[in-house]
Structure 1
Amino acid sequence: MAGAGTATLSGRDRALLRAVAAGRCRLGPGCQPELVIDGLACADSGAGARLVAAGLIHPPDPARPHGPAGITELGWRELRG
């Protein structure tokens, strides 16, 4: 996946982004944010950091252990696009 604004999503990343958009995900804080889907940790341990770095989901709130993951405007455009 390329940087923000130029993302080419893999099928896995697109599915993860759809899960975030559907409100099924939580994101843990840290330098490698943990993405949790339907209560289970994502098997792709780098997915949360990758989607945050690409600007597709909002960074985690460091004050919340596992807060809701939120999709950015760029993320919505990628899903529609």
Structure 2
Amino acid sequence: MSHRARAMLRAVAAGRAVMSSSCEPDLFIDGVPCCDQMAAHALAHGGYIQPASEEAGRVPAVLTSAGRAVLAPAVGHVA
């Protein structure tokens, strides 16, 4: 996973992201459209992020268990 995609996941985890509830969900971070919507679509379709509700329009984005796992520190990782 790219550094940009990980940064997008961190923004979602921090509660700074909303996403559109559509078949190709767009991601907005701090109210601004994300610079890489293809990565946003891949995160959504890959099951890393999802809308917090099924309401129409923009809703908060949340991490799935897969998204949380990507951000979890690696066990036994030596920096």
Which amino acid in 1 is paired with 2:55?
A: A
Q: 1:51 aligns with which of 40, 43, 66?
A: 43
Q: RMSD between aligned alpha carbons?
A: 1.6
* Pair 1:66-2:50 in alignment: no
Q: Distance in 2 between matches of 1:47 and 1:59?
A: 16
TM-score, scaled relative to structure 2: 0.81
1:26-45 matched pairs, under 5 angstroms: 26-45=18-37
User: Where do 5+ consecutive residues of structure 1 fail to align?
Assistant: 1-8
Higher alpha-carbon Rg = 2
Which amino acid in 2 is paired with 1:73?
A: S
On the 8 A contact 1:23/1:68 being kept in 2, the answer is yes
Task: Determine what percentage of the aligned residue pairs are the same residue.
Answer: 41
TM-score, scaled relative to structure 1: 0.80
Specify which structure has the higher proportion of strand: 2
Residue aligning to 1:6: none
State the SS of the aligned residue for 1:30.
coil
Q: 1:23 aligns with which of 3, 15, 28?
A: 15
* 1:61 positional shift: 4.5
The count of corresponding residues between Structure 1 and Structure 2 is: 73
Structure 1 moving runs of 4+ over 6 Å: none
